[in-house]
């Protein structure tokens, strides 16, 4: 896990964007912390009521994210995949990552990938935005999705003001 070169992450001022957050039910403590930090980013951006949807696991994130792109400007997918003793880890990680990328491209909508793909539970904790974590993927994925949604709005001519950050 290298955070080298990462800029300070702030949520953009985006009170008019419609945001959805999809979170898994597995790895409850970690997923809940990531969701809390994603909601903190939404609040910092001025979004009063982001939609929160729960799914069984990470494999379900792409299809639900795709459905949510139909009436949201940005979607954030939050999940945790921890390596086990079988090749299942690689299959799940590849499917989820490719699926979320495909959704973003097919729907031309900002999709924040907040799926942790780690070897150990401790690595997930270190990236989940706890007080002693070195990374904050729930917040970062949300801020990136909102910033991207603003860029897309500008490119489409929907948003004439310069992007501002709080």
Q: Give pTM, 2 decimals.
A: 0.92
What is the per-residue pLDDT across 27-66, written as a single tens digit (0 to 9) for each? 999 999 999 999 999 999 999 999 999 999 999 999 999 9
Single out the residue of 54, 57, 53, 46 nearest to residue 12, CA to CA: 46
Q: What CA–CA distance (Å, rounded) separates 40 from 15?
A: 13
113 belongs to an annotated ligand binding site: yes
Domain boundaries, the chain: 19-154
Per-residue pLDDT reduced to its tens digit, 107-139: 999 999 999 999 999 999 999 999 999 999 999
Instruction: Reply yes or no on whether 88 is catalytic.
Output: yes
Spelled out in words, what is the top-level CATH class assigned to the domain 19-154? alpha beta
Mean pLDDT of 7-17: 94
Strands (E) located in 90-136: 110-118
Instruction: Report whether pLDDT(103) > 80.
Output: yes
Question: One of 13, 27, 72, 88 is an active-site residue; which one?
Answer: 88
């Amino acid at each position: 896990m290298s955070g080298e070169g990462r800029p300070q992450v702030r949520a953009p001022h985006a009170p008019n964007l419609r945001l959805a957050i999809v979170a898994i039910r597995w790895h409850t403590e970690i997923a809940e912390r990531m969701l809390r930090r994603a909601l903190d980013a939404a609040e910092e951006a001025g979004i009063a009521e982001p939609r929160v949807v729960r799914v069984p696991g990470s494999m379900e994130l792409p299809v639900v994210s795709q459905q949510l792109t139909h009436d949201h400007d940005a979607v954030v997918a939050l999940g945790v995949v921890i390596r086990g003793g079988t090749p299942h880890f690689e299959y799940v990680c590849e499917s989820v990552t490719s699926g979320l990328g495909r959704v973003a491209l097919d729907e031309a909508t900002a999709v924040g990938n907040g799926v942790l793909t780690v070897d150990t539970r401790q690595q997930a904790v270190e990236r989940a935005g706890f007080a002693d974590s070195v990374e904050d993927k729930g917040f970062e994925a949300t801020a990136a999705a909102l910033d991207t949604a603003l860029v897309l709005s500008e490119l489409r001519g929907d948003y004439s003001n310069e992007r501002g950050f709080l």
